[in-house]
Amino acid sequence: MRTLRVVQWATGAVGGYALRGVVERPEFELAGVLVYDPDKIGIDAGPLVGLPETGVICTDDVDAIMALDADCVLHMPLPATFFGGDHSHDVDTICRLLASGKNVITTTGFVYPMAYGTSVVDRIEKACQEGGTTLHGTGINPGFVSDVLPLTLTGLSSRLDHIYVRETSDYRGHPSHHIVTDLIGFARTAKDYVTAVRPFRAFQRALFTESVQLVSAALGVELDEIEEMDEFELAAEDFEIASGMVRQGTVAASRWVFSGLVRGRPFMTVECVYKADADKVPRWADPGFSIHIEGRPTIVVNLNEVNHGLAGAAAHAVNTIRAVVLADPGIRTILDLPMVTGRGTARLA
């Protein structure tokens, strides 16, 4: 089995775990590492994640990465929506990588690129054909819990009335102030949160509406629209988490709901609850995942504990590398890769 040369693009909370996975696994050879933090430039990639030296030096030179000979790029920066832009910047980068002859697995979204319309799809497909390459989006989450697992469970259904997915995440141990406060909005005043959360709202919308559309399309259901809503909860007391202090009266949790509607009724609903510290915010569900497949039969699956969730998101991407490299050129969703064991056909009530 040929060793695959892999580039790690960004080494943040998820990218660091992915980099470790690439270095530790003998079927991969680390070809290059692109970083954004000036303090990481010029250092060996191994010690960056607590491993022995690899001989691969971290760089911020995009052109140098583009020129590398590699089989796959694990593209894991913060999405452009975080910085107030839109997905077009990420599309630019991804298309350039694809056209350069490197397959791309991204966590910036693109679990279902068709959600962005034919112009984006055509552009990505053109880059794939030019480079003989494949694009696959795993998402951070979505990815598995809100698409792979529900689709797998529908293989047991003769009728589907409603698919409901809930994720509750506890961020008390997340070390990144950039993610926890700047992006998600914890520890902000209510007034600041309403203003600052706009980029995160765009980020959430892109990720989770893609997932809802992916599952619906796989089941042959044409959605009329996708409704969304969000709300937040304030801290009842001061408390400290890994990324800093959350003061009383600042935002300590948020809840997001995305529903794909058919004739005014929800066909698939994704509920996301984020808590700065689950012990300090009793409102809403406890950490874990829950999937309800309502129909015949009704199926309920609860994942009560998933620790090291960021490591899981990284592993999801790393574990798809060989499948993506071997796939035919073009956009490949989870429906096109050998990961889903079975799915049903929707028969709406």
pLDDT tens-digit series, residues 55-99:
999 999 999 999 999 999 999 997 765 555 566 889 999 999 999
Average pLDDT over residues 40-59: 97
pLDDT tens-digit series, residues 243-287:
999 999 999 999 999 999 999 999 999 999 999 999 999 999 999
Model pLDDT, residue 341: 45
CA distance linking residue 277 with residue 172, whole number of Å: 5
CA distance linking residue 154 with residue 162, whole number of Å: 11
Q: What is the dihedral of CA 148, 84, 183, 204, to 10 degrees?
A: -30
What domains are there in the chain, each with its CATH number? 4-140+314-336 (3.40.50.720), 148-305 (3.30.360)
Q: Token digits for 2?
A: 């040929």
Average pLDDT over residues 337-343: 59
Q: Token digits for 123?
A: 């552009």
73 vs 344, more confident: 73
> Is the confidence at residue 48, as pLDDT, over 60?
yes
> Is the confidence at residue 23, as pLDDT, over 90?
yes
Model pLDDT, residue 205: 81
Note the pTM of the prediction, 2 decimals.
0.87
CA distance linking residue 122 with residue 170, whole number of Å: 38
> Is the confidence at residue 226, as pLDDT, over 90?
yes
Percent of the chain with pLDDT over 70: 92
Report the chain's mean pLDDT, rounded to a whole number: 90
Least confident stretch, 63-77, 178-192, 216-230, 334-348: 334-348
Q: Which residues of 242-264 are buried (b: 16+ CB within 10 A; e: fewer)?
A: ebeebeeebbbbbbbbbbbbbee
Q: Specify the 3-state DSSP secondary structure of 262.
A: strand
Percent of the chain with pLDDT over 90: 71
> Is the confidence at residue 130, as pLDDT, over 90?
yes
> Is the confidence at residue 174, as pLDDT, over 60?
yes
